[in-house]
Amino acid sequence: MREVKEITKEVEDYVRGAVDKYESGHGWSHIERVVRLAIYIRDCEKRGDRFTIELAALLHDIGDHKFALHDGPAEIRRLLGESGVAEDIIREVVYINENISFSKGKNDIIKSPELQIVQDADRLDAMGAVGIARAFNYGGFKGSEIYDPREGYLNPPSLGSGSSRSLSTVHHFYDKLLLLRDLMNTPTGRRLADERHDFMVKYLEQFFREWDAH
């Protein structure tokens, strides 16, 4: 196999071009944060193959149905095959791409350590201060209301394939973002999620105080 660094650089260049047209919360900066988080989690957990994790984090949003028309797995197989990546690593990276998200993933599958780590990293980036910014940016991109007090919450909230179709962006916190903490796969993910979760809860308390003018 060719030098790992050289392959990673090639994949980075490809992904940068591919996510260029995605909304900013799903763009290159999101990919960079997920790569950094995933590597950090892996170093704390001391498990999972680093190269596979880095490639899978870089390629996790390729073929995202919200932005892309092409077939993600086929693109990944072509790209990594041409770069000379070993077949078992390609298979793992494709499996992670297919199973990472709520919309595509099934929660009852057996998750490899690499999937567990990249999924935690992607979910962490939907939480906390960055997650709040991404939610309102995506809501604006879709033309959603910031908040619509006429619409009640689902109680208990339900996490399903419909999570991308919340009634307003504030509803999206209850549909999805506040549920992520309990879905963390790794102890390190859970530790990072606790702080981000508490920050979102504080944020919403302040939001509703201001909404009600006191």
163 makes contact with ligand ADP (CB under 6 A): yes
Name which position in 83, 97, 99, 169 contacts ligand ADP (CB under 6 A).
169
Place of tokens 């990249």: 118
Name which position in 54, 75, 120, 122 contacts Ni ion (CB under 5 A).
122
Shortest reach from residue 82's CB to ligand ADP, in Å: 26
Place of tokens 């944060």: 33
d(CA 42, CA 146): 36
Contact by Cβ (8 Å): 72, 63: yes
Which positions from 22 through 51 interact with ligand ADP, judged by CB under 6 A? 25
| Cα dist from 174 to 123, 152, 169, 201, whole Å | 15, 11, 9, 10
Q: Taking contact as CB under 5 A, which single stretch among the options 60-68, 160-168, 183-191, 202-210 is the one that binds Ni ion?
A: 60-68
d(CA 27, CA 30): 5
Name which position in 139, 147, 170, 197 contacts ligand ADP (CB under 6 A).
139
Sign of CA dihedral 38, 43, 46, 52: positive
120 makes contact with Ni ion (CB under 5 A): no
Shortest reach from residue 60's CB to Ni ion, in Å: 6
Q: Taking contact as CB under 5 A, which single stretch among the options 47-55, 117-125, 135-143, 195-203 is the one that binds Ni ion?
A: 117-125
